[in-house]
Structure 1
Amino acid sequence: MSADQGANKSMYQFSYAEVLEDDPQSSRNREREALDHALELLTAAKQKGRTSRESIEALHYVRKLWMVLIEDLVNPENDLPDVLKADLINVGIWVTKEADMISLGKSDNFEGLIDICGIIRDGLK
């Protein structure tokens, strides 16, 4: 299993309810690790360019990660404040749309994705 598959599996194999069974710090650590991996991939993609294999891998991972995060945020068992959930969902929608724009050659805003993922990761302390 590659490192990417391992990171995907650790992030995606748990439903929100299962993650809640863990202590909150463990859950935040897993989310932070997934965002760290996204940041590594996005940094490599920015260096190699929009049409590189690194770009395709990074954008795929970021879309998948944010879709899982959005899914968890809309889950009724998620007890974050509604305003925070709505804000994070909006961030996730922007990230996935921006990743799509890069994939389509209509943007090269890797820096924006890196900034947003870094801000969210840093907020998981």
Structure 2
Amino acid sequence: MYRFSYSEILEDAPEVGRDRERAAFDRALTLLRDVEARGLSGPERTAAVGFVQELWNVLIADLLEPENALPASLRADLVQIGAWTMQEAGEVLRSPERSLAALIEVNTSIRDGLR
């Protein structure tokens, strides 16, 4: 499966790239909210948090590419948010009693910023 880099998508059609990102964040948030609301643990929780981790792995990789057209300061801020998200995701996987609220809040803010 070929993945387009963030900058390639934005060059072709900025609104298409943002729509795809919003859809990925929407999916991540749906999974996280469902797990949190139903108090799920085990495979469901792992899958939801794993989806968020994969999303941020892809985003961070694209943000670190030299040809990424976003301003350097914005890219740096997003990488920091991604690093925090990855750290928090690891913590919620190690502590099943830990709430997903912080992950939901931060990822909702990022998703809303894509509008």
Answer whether TM exceeds 0.5 for this pair: yes
The residue that corresponds to 2:21 in the other structure is 31
For residues 67 and 84 of structure 2, the distance between their equivalents in structure 1, rounded to whole angstroms, comes to 24
Counterpart in the other structure of 1:86:
76
Aligned with 1:113 (options 97, 103, 110): 103
Note the C-alpha offset of 1:60: 0.6
Q: Distance in 1 between matches of 2:82 and 2:21?
A: 14
Aligned residues of 1:70 and 1:92 also touching (Cα < 8 A): yes
- For the 8 Å contact 1:16–1:78, the answer to whether it is kept is yes
Q: Distance in 2 between matches of 1:110 and 1:28?
A: 25
- Partner residue of 1:47? 37
Runs of 4+ in 1 over 4 A off after TM superposition: none
Whichever residue aligns with residue 52 of structure 1, its letter is G
Instruction: Give the letter for the 1:82 counterpart.
Output: A
Q: Alignment identity in percent? A: 43
In structure 2, relative to structure 1, the CA distance for the partners of 1:110 and 1:90 (3 Å cut) is same
Where in structure 1 are there 5+ consecutive unaligned residues? Answer: 1-8
Structure of higher RCO (CA pairs closer than 8 Å, 6+ residues apart): 2
Gaps of 5+ in 2: none
Q: CA deviation at 1:47?
A: 2.1
- 2:55 partner SS: helix
CA displacement at 1:69 relative to structure 2: 0.3
1:45–1:52 CA contact under 8 A, matched in 2: no
Distance 1:28 1:64 in 2: 17
In 2, Cα distance between the equivalents of 1:75 and 1:31?
A: 17
Q: Shift in Å at residue 113 of structure 1?
A: 0.5
TM-score, normalised by the number of residues in structure 2: 0.90
- Offset from partner CA, 1:19-73 (integer Å, 9 cap, x none): 2342101000000000000000000111233623221111110000001000010
Q: RMSD between aligned alpha carbons?
A: 1.8
Tell me the residue number matched to 1:3.
Answer: none
Residues 17/104 of structure 1: CA separation in 2 closer, same or farther (3 Å cut): same
